[in-house]
């Protein structure tokens, strides 16, 4: 656990806490501090912790005096002090960090003043509420975008949204890219953003539609790494959202951090089936060659190519198209039984033929992706709807727990356990057969119950635990704890999955609270 989490626990227990910290450890300032010092702070404190402070006092010390104290060994031992002064505590760095701390404290005071004026109905020039949308992508600069948008939203006093569009490419993301994405979404949640995760085939269209329908006033995305990409996402956004301000943030990162693009191929059998289909249709076309002209013969050969695009994938369809062109050239284009082409017009036809196949393949691929996404969403929606419907009819707690387990297994392949307090002791009341209960599991579940926060795999609290544990909350009251163990699954704990699991936990908690109230 982090030190600030210990502070949260003490505050939740009603204990006042006095603490000190350096400005370079504030999470939203991490990128700015790196630009100033060229040193990345690994240990940071969420801005929500700083904002929750009742009072903030700035301990201001001129850079010269701090350097003097360092040389005198009053901060570090002398050997360490020399290294610190040479690498980090240089006069320029200290002046920039000093200014940063002054701005941070001034911003905190200004926010408290505005809250006070609003609470006491004091007249002021209150502006129309701004709403900022951060476009999140699976990239190493995603966290930088989140921090920048948080600072912008804080200065504007605006609500902000972290927005991600899951396209067909999401399935081919590397583990590193998924890690970048999940870290960015977790950071956004930590900094107070509203998380929106949608599925679609066009990132800019989904972003523009959401922005227009939800009164977004500003959209922030990373600047494309290649100039020609300026013609894609940013330019499309400018065209589709003329009344919304678009901000492009510098997204330069070390090229070594970028993963190599993986080229995925369809199954070898799909290529074989596509070529075989073209061969069969070529035989039929050859038998009908005396009755049909060349255009109709070409259309016959196009049929298996289109079917390959729809059912076999983009790669097999292109290979089938090339095969069909070669066969058509060999059998039906004069001079016959040779690949030589004397009429230039055939080259134009072949090029158009390939373009048509590529377009059809792309459309078919997008259609398959949308169908797959709809199927996945339908499974989750049907599962959650079925759970909520059955919980309404539940008569006792045992029925509620059984329904939670049954419907969860229909949505996710996982092991599951539900813990409820009995005589002030957390006890397992329902579980699947493979969910192992040991002292560590009980310890994690107890921590979740006491602190009313999630813990375990995929979180910053007890991340080495076997499963993911959620509090079952009904309003402000905690009913129990539910644990999920995705054994053998290589998938990370995604934001979308967390939302579904939290919904299951919340529905179960509300049902138990209703039964107990009766």
Q: Is there a contact between 178 and 380 (Cβ–Cβ < 8 Å)?
A: no
**210 phi and psi angles, rounded to 5 deg:** -65, -45
430, β-bridge pairs:
418
Q: Rounded to whole angstroms, what are the CA distances from 167 to 235, 305, 316?
A: 19, 25, 22
- Do domains 131-253 and 394-517 share one topology? The answer is no
Quote the Cα angle for 254-258-264, to 5°. Answer: 165
CATH of domain 394-517: 3.30.450.40
Q: Give helix 91-119 / helix 63-71 axis angle, nearest 10°.
A: 130
Task: Count CB-CB contacts under 10 A for residue 514.
Answer: 14
pLDDT of residue 488: 59
Query: What class has domain 131-253?
Result: alpha beta
Give the pLDDT of residue 230.
Answer: 46
H or E stretch including 219? strand 218-222
* Sign of the CA dihedral running 115, 118, 121, 125: positive
pLDDT of 12: 82
- Confidence (pLDDT) at 150: 92
Tokens of 203: 């990132």
Strand order in the sheet with 425-431: 425-431, 415-422, 477-485, 468-474, 455-456
310: Cβ contacts below 8 Å, ≥ 6 apart: 364
CATH number, domain 3-119, options 1.10.10.10, 3.40.50.1820, 3.40.50.300, 3.30.70.380: 3.40.50.300
Task: Provide the residue ranges of all domains of the chain, joining segments of one domain with +.
Answer: 3-119, 131-253, 291-366, 394-517
Q: What are the structure tokens assigned to 220, written together?
A: 């922030």
pLDDT at position 114? 65
3-state secondary structure of 416: strand
One DSSP character per residue, 179-190 reads HHHHHHHHHHHH
What's the chain's Rg over C-alpha atoms? 30
Q: Report DSSP state, residue 339.
A: S
Whether residue 454 contacts residue 470, with contact meaning beta carbons closer than 8 Å, is answered with yes
Contacts of 142 (CB under 8 A, 6+ apart): 136, 180, 181, 183, 184, 222
In tens digits, the chain (518 residues) has pLDDT values of 678 888 888 888 889 999 888 898 899 888 888 888 888 888 888 888 888 888 888 888 888 888 888 877 777 766 676 777 777 888 888 888 888 888 888 777 766 666 666 666 665 545 456 899 999 998 888 998 999 999 999 888 889 999 999 887 887 788 888 889 988 998 998 898 999 988 888 899 999 999 998 889 999 998 876 655 445 788 889 889 988 999 998 766 655 655 565 666 778 898 999 999 999 999 999 999 888 888 888 889 889 988 988 888 888 888 998 999 899 888 888 888 888 777 777 788 888 888 888 888 888 877 877 787 778 788 888 989 999 999 999 999 999 999 999 999 999 889 999 999 998 889 999 999 999 999 999 999 999 999 999 999 888 788 888 899 999 999 889 999 999 998 755 556 777 888 899 999 999 999 999 999 87
In three state form, how does the secondary structure of 286-325 look?
HHCCCCCCHHHHHHHHHHHHHHHHHHCCHHHHHHHHHHHH
Tokens, residue 223: 């600047």
Beta-carbon contacts of residue 145 (< 8 Å; ≥ 6 apart): 134, 135, 136, 184, 220, 221, 222, 249, 251
Q: What is the pTM of this model?
A: 0.65
Cis bond upstream, residue 335 (ω within 30): yes
Report the 3 state secondary structure along 242-265: CCCEEEEECCCCCHHHCCCCCCCC
Write down the pLDDT at residue 376.
78
Q: Does residue 417 sit in helix, strand or coil?
A: strand
- Closest listed residue to residue 125, CA positions, set 114, 112, 110: 114
Contacts of 45 (CB under 8 A, 6+ apart): 2, 4, 21, 25, 26, 27
């Amino acid at each position: 656990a982090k030190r600030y989490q210990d502070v949260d626990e003490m505050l939740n227990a009603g204990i006042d806490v006095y603490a000190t910290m350096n400005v370079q450890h504030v999470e939203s300032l991490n990128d700015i501090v790196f630009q100033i010092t060229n040193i990345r702070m690994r240990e940071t404190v969420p801005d929500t912790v700083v904002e929750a402070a009742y009072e903030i006092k700035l301990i201001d010390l001129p850079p010269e005096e701090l350097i003097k104290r360092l040389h005198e060994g009053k901060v570090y031992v002398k050997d360490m002090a020399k290294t610190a002064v040479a690498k980090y505590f240089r006069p320029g760095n200290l002046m920039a960090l000093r200014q940063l701390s002054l701005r941070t404290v001034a911003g905190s005071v200004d926010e408290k003043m505005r809250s006070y004026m609003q609470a006491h109905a004091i007249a002021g020039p209150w502006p129309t509420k701004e709403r900022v949308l951060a476009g999140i992508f699976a990239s190493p600069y995603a966290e930088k975008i989140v921090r920048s948008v948080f600072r912008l939203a804080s200065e504007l006093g605006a609500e902000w949204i972290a927005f991600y569009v899951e396209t067909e490419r999401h399935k081919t993301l590397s583990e590193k890219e998924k890690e970048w994405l999940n870290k960015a979404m977790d950071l956004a949640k930590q900094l107070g953003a509203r998380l929106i995760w949608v599925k679609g085939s066009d990132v800019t269209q989904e972003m523009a539609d959401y922005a227009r329908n939800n009164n977004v006033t500003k959209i922030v995305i990373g600047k494309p790494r290649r100039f020609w990409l300026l013609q894609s996402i940013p330019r499309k956004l400018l065209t589709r959202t003329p009344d919304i301000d678009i901000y492009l943030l510098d997204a330069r990162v070390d090229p070594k951090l970028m993963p190599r693009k993986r080229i995925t191929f369809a199954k070898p059998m799909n290529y074989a089936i596509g070529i075989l289909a073209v061969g069969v249709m070529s035989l039929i076309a050859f038998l009908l060659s005396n009755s049909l002209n060349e255009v109709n013969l070409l259309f016959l050969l196009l049929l298996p190519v289109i079917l390959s695009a729809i059912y076999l994938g983009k790669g097999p369809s292109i290979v089938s198209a090339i095969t069909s062109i070669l066969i058509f050239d060999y059998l039906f284009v004069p001079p016959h039984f040779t690949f030589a082409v004397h009429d230039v017009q055939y080259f134009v036809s072949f090029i158009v033929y390939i373009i048509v196949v590529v377009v059809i393949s792309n459309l078919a691929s997008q259609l398959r992706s949308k169908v797959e996404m709809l199927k996945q969403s339908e499974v989750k929606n049907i599962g959650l709807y079925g759970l909520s419907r059955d919980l309404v009819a539940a008569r006792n707690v045992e029925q509620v727990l059984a329904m939670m387990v049954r419907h969860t297994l229909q949505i996710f392949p996982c092991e599951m356990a539900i813990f409820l307090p009995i005589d002030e002791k957390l006890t397992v009341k329902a579980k699947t057969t493979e969910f192992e209960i040991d002292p560590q599991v009980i310890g994690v579940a107890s921590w979740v119950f006491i602190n009313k926060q999630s813990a375990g795999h995929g979180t910053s609290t007890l991340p080495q635990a076997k499963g993911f544990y959620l509090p079952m909350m009904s309003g402000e009251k905690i009913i129990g704890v539910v644990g999920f163990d995705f054994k053998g699954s290589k998938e990370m704990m995604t934001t979308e999955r967390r939302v579904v699991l939290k919904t299951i936990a919340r529905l179960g908690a509300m049902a138990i609270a209703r039964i107990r109230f009766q």
